[in-house]
Homo-oligomer: A and B are copies of this chain.
Amino acid sequence: MNVAGGAAERLIGRWDRLVEANPAAEVIDTLLRGVGQVMFQNNPVTGLLFLVGIFVNSPKLGLFALLGVAVSTATAFLLRADPTLIRNGLFGFNGVLTGIGLAVFLQFDPLLIAYVAVGAAVSTIVMMALANALAGWDMPALTAPFVITTWLMLFAIYSFGHLVPTPLIAPVAVEPGAPVQTALRSLPFGGAAGATLPNLANSVFTGAGQVMFQDNAWTGFIFLVAILVNSRVSAAFAFVGSILAMLTAMALGGSGVAIYHGLYGFNGVLTAIALGGLFLMLTWRSAVYALIGVIFTTVAFAGFSVLLSPIGMPALTAPFVATTWLFLLPKAGFRALEPVPMGEVSTPEQVREAQTGRWRGPEHGPAPGTAP
């Protein structure tokens, strides 16, 4: 990174000057940050790499991600939300997820474009609603706006003949004690089954990819690199979160196919980033706390999935939202942890530096590229 770092820093500096001078560039920068914020990274380069990762796997989903981020950000602009929040991409990430989420679970149709546009617009309204509702506890909305909006719009499709679900939507009748195939393997079956190194690696990287519904280990790898550009600590927690979620699911005997395809991992990735130095000051205790959060998130993923199995609907990132809210809400109640005030959330590195006094950054937003 250090060798490439100099060249990258020069490029970023040039981009920053362009953004200040050119409104079109500012719009692009805002939308890229919106994409980056899907994993809490207020950084246009991270957002760009996220898009690269999505397009590598599926240009169609990439276009829906762009539609989502554009409509949700434009909605915030038209409703005159706080310009600083818009500029930091906080009205973009739920739109990205709503766009991809609806396009993954519903077959393409021109009507789907309008459906996604409505969903992305509503995700911005729900974002502002939750931000306001949670302000008294100084708590983040996380991806709850995406979950609420997309859940209602997905559940609805059984009632609507003009929108058809993809085969990913499949109601399942639960059966107590039914055996679970625990051997790691891909679907359709290919490669050796079991806890081989390729299978484990596929699970870990696809776990990162599935945060944006990308069933692709390379995409997941690009996502992790994209986070690394903005924060080493967050990238490390994302990686460890995916591993620990996989191990938790394996220890409990989760479906090997689901584990292989990263379905047990993506919520753990998000919980690990959120609790790992971002909303709680990074210490040894908070790191262990974050790991317990990842374990519980993995169980909660199975729990939400079962709850929705009679209608065959996905848990989305609800397990992450629920666990992270519950783990952050204690706030000052646990004196072993130090919550980061919402106005000072940037990267784990900057928060620690600001606190230890070695570096005094701006209170809002990171200084992209300067952190690590």
The chain A residues found within 8 Å of chain B, CB to CB, are 78-82, 111, 115, 118, 121-122, 125-126, 128-133, 136-137, 148, 151-165, 167, 169-171, 173-182, 251-255, 258, 285, 289, 292, 295-296, 299-307, 309-312, 322, 325-337
Contacts and interface: CB of A to CB of B under 8 A. Distances in A.
Contact of A330 (B115, B128, B157, B292): B128
A140 to B, nearest CB: 14
A326 B176 contact: no
B177 A337 contact: no
Contacts of A131: 333
5 contacts: A79-B336, A111-B252, A153-B299, A158-B306, A159-B302
A111 B254 CA distance: 14
Given A129-B330, A333-B82, A177 B148 contact: no
A296 B329 CA distance: 30
Contact of A174 (B133, B252, B312): B312
A306 B159 contact: yes
A47 B307 CA distance: 34
B180 A176 contact: no
Contacts of A82: 333
A158 B258 CA distance: 14
The 7 A-B residue pairs with the shortest CB-CB distance, nearest first, are: A161-B253, A161-B180, A162-B253, A129-B329, A156-B302, A128-B330, A152-B303
Contacts of A176: 158, 164-165, 167, 169-171, 312
Nearest to A308: B307
Contact of A329 (B118, B128, B299, B331): B128
Q: Which secondary structure dominates chain A's binding surface?
A: helix
B330 A132 contact: yes
Given A312-B176, A326-B148, A160 B302 contact: yes
A346 to B, nearest CB: 22
Copies of the polypeptide in the assembly: 3
Contacts of A148: 326
B182 A161 contact: yes
A234 to B, nearest CB: 22
A73 to B, nearest CB: 14
B136 A331 contact: no
Contacts of A152: 296, 299-300, 303-304, 322
Nearest to A139: B133
A81 to B, nearest CB: 6
Given A118-B292, A126-B326, A133-B329, A162 B252 contact: yes
A163 B252 contact: yes
Contacts of A329: 128-130, 132-133
B133 A79 contact: no
Contacts of A178: 158
Nearest to A170: B176
A132 to B, nearest CB: 5
A50 B195 CA distance: 46
Contacts of A179: 161
Given A128-B330, A310-B310, A333-B128, A164 B180 contact: no
Contacts of A181: 161
A320 to B, nearest CB: 13
A327 to B, nearest CB: 6
Contacts of A163: 252-253
Given A174-B312, A311-B174, A159 B255 contact: yes
A180 B289 CA distance: 48
A162 B256 CA distance: 13
